[in-house]
Structure 1
Amino acid sequence: MITLKQVSVFTLYLIVFLIIFNLSNKYTIDNNILRDMQSVKLRVAIDRSRLSLEDPTLNYSGDEEALSEYLISLNGILVEQQSRIRLTAISSKALHAKEGEVVSVLTGTTHETYLLFKADNSHKLPFYIIPFILALLNFVLLKSITRRQIISRKTKNIAPVIEEKPILHIDLYSKALHLSNDKDIKVQLANKPMCFYLALIEYCEANPDASLNQNKELPDELLALADKYFHRLISLGHTIRKRPNFSNSLEKTLSEIRAALDELLANTPDLKAKYYPPKAHGEGSRSKLHSYALSNITLEDVEIIGK
């Protein structure tokens, strides 16, 4: 028998997957439309010299029949490619877009050339079965796991319960940190320290004996990982800014990471040895000789949501 709680869980799954699918689908559609428009603009720019366009300076009205044949031919190629755009007009005079249309201008020629595109950015409704199936599979999986846990507890009710140590969850969708055993306490991180901390975790897991000193340049591999996570934040819509210089203000970046972990791990200080970038001890130049590498970290200690 399905309970109200189970219906609520399934509905939550469905909403989450619908949002993710819708955003991802919109991003893909917009990218495809922009790519195809750029391709058509390049094609028209190459063919511009032989197009029979009107020329006000020469009192030439153009050859509408030849231009219409060119549009039919070009749109035929777009149909074969299953493109979401159609080129509806080419003119030497300014064109005005209506709803669902886009005007683009070719420059660098004798006269500006205006292109009128009709873009189809609608979502195909049949594809929305995908988030429904994903939500259903996750619901069934959760129900199966819950059932096994109940059976296990019943058969091993005399066995002592061993509490697993919590692990760190890093959520790229909300740019927040929280522990697996307490999702109510979340700590936000800015883009730069978030990307650098993720890169530091992955780098140190792959290089457990690495020594990272502030008086030395950051390894290329570490910078590449930070770039990877920054581009992921861009794709999730968190920022449109240029990539930050992760080598600059390293101490400030580390301080922001430590401050967030201080807040998150206030009740579990024993976890600091694993997740906390070590601080320097001492004063002067010696304080920069320490390593801030995470020597005890593994990928099993961290779950990255939205990677």
Structure 2
Amino acid sequence: MKSSVSQLTLFFSSWLILQLSFGAGQSYQNSLNNERFISSIEKRIALDIPKLTLANKKFKTAADPHSIKSYIDDVNASLRELKSPLQIVSLQGIQLSKSAPQHVITSILRTSDQEIILEMQLVESGWSSAVSFLAPILAFFIALIHYFSRKQKIAIATINVAKEPESPPLKLRIDLKNKSVNFGNNSEAVLLPNKPFCFYAALVDYCMHTQLPNLKHNNEVPDELLQMANKYFYRLIELGHTKRKRPDFGVNLDKTLSEIRSALDEAFKDNIELKELFYPPKAQGEGSRSKMHNYAILNRDPNRVEFIGK
């Protein structure tokens, strides 16, 4: 609907501009034609004056209205053949018609013994001469070209959008080289102690590769998860981060998870809406109910996690 209104607006505005331009050009051309024909008529009358029976006060001669009108008719007939915009209506006061002419142009011809007044009238050319029938056709083509140009731009934009590769998803980076986690491209790395770092790396790895992981406080930590945590700890030793005794990842689970959540709060401060995917859920409620909640993380997409130095 909006596109149709835009096309109609362009069509009518183009038509108006073209019509005004044509009118201005036509007016200028008519002015030039009028001047040319006035000069031509004056020359014709000036050459024919000796043959005309005009009144002359100096020589006290009277005019012959009948012959003057006949002469005017002959001249006007010639002007019509030339498609002149002017016709003679009066010569030296002798009018061709009794009706008062409109839009009269008066010219004075001077001879050695008198002044001859010549009156001419513009011929009504009708409204069609002021209207360009080409203007709406050109306006239609302008609107049509704009329409197809717009369609082409939209098609090209659609193709370009389709060609543009999707931006890669933001990743959680678990860096064993400096015992840190960070998320996205601009967030700062957050350092963790050995035990929570290794347990979180193992928790992320375990949840991504386990179908429906069931990690509850009232159950012991699965052996596979503990083995992964130990593997990451031994990797820290290989990287020269620690020489301490391997911690027991199965005890003080609440404290370990609390330290992990604190680090993640800092790592996801600029992407809070995505934190839930990588955040071990907190227990809801008290007592036995708190022991029933699952602290497994929700992310199952390996493309959203990057292990560095694994």
TM-score, normalised on structure 2? Answer: 0.46
Greater C-alpha radius of gyration: 2
TM-score, normalised on structure 1? Answer: 0.47
